[in-house]
Amino acid sequence: QVQLVESGGGSVQAGGSLTLSCVFTAATGCMGWFRQAPGKEREGIAAIYPIGAATYYADSMEGRFTISQEEKTMYLQIRSLKPEDTAMYYCAANLRLKGGNWREVSYWDYWGRGTQVTVSS
């Protein structure tokens, strides 16, 4: 089992940057970041596979988001924030590698409680 705790969210002005953190308690096969805006479905942002340090991004997220990991903390850097980035941001993890689509919520076994990001114009 693994526990995930996100932090780093807050209220920022459009154009600013934030770095979110996710501390996890056990070695994982893969990890990811998702977000969910009010009234919308949870959407995948990026995933990282520690073995080989491979990273993947949703097509709509490439360019402003960077996922990284250092020891037992995963990060998501968000640049040039926009009001539409306002959402609850979640980290997710699987203990082992498995087949499937990382962009799907059902792919992930463990979730954090989220950290809120609010972007004002």
Euclidean distance between CA atoms 112 and 81, whole angstroms: 22
pLDDT for 51:
75
Euclidean distance between CA atoms 4 and 30, whole angstroms: 13
The helix or strand, by DSSP H or E, that contains position 25, with its residue range, turns out to be: none
pLDDT for 85:
96
Helix, strand, coil tally for the chain in percent (to 5): 10, 50, 40
- Token pair listed for 70: 């250092």
Question: Residue 24, Cβ neighbours under 10 Å: how many?
Answer: 20
Q: Express each pLDDT in 63-108 by its tens digit.
A: 899 999 998 999 999 999 999 999 999 999 998 888 899 999 999 9
Closest CA relative to residue 3, chosen from 107, 109, 115: 109
Q: Express each pLDDT in 16-61 by its tens digit.
A: 999 999 999 988 889 999 999 999 999 999 999 977 679 999 998 7
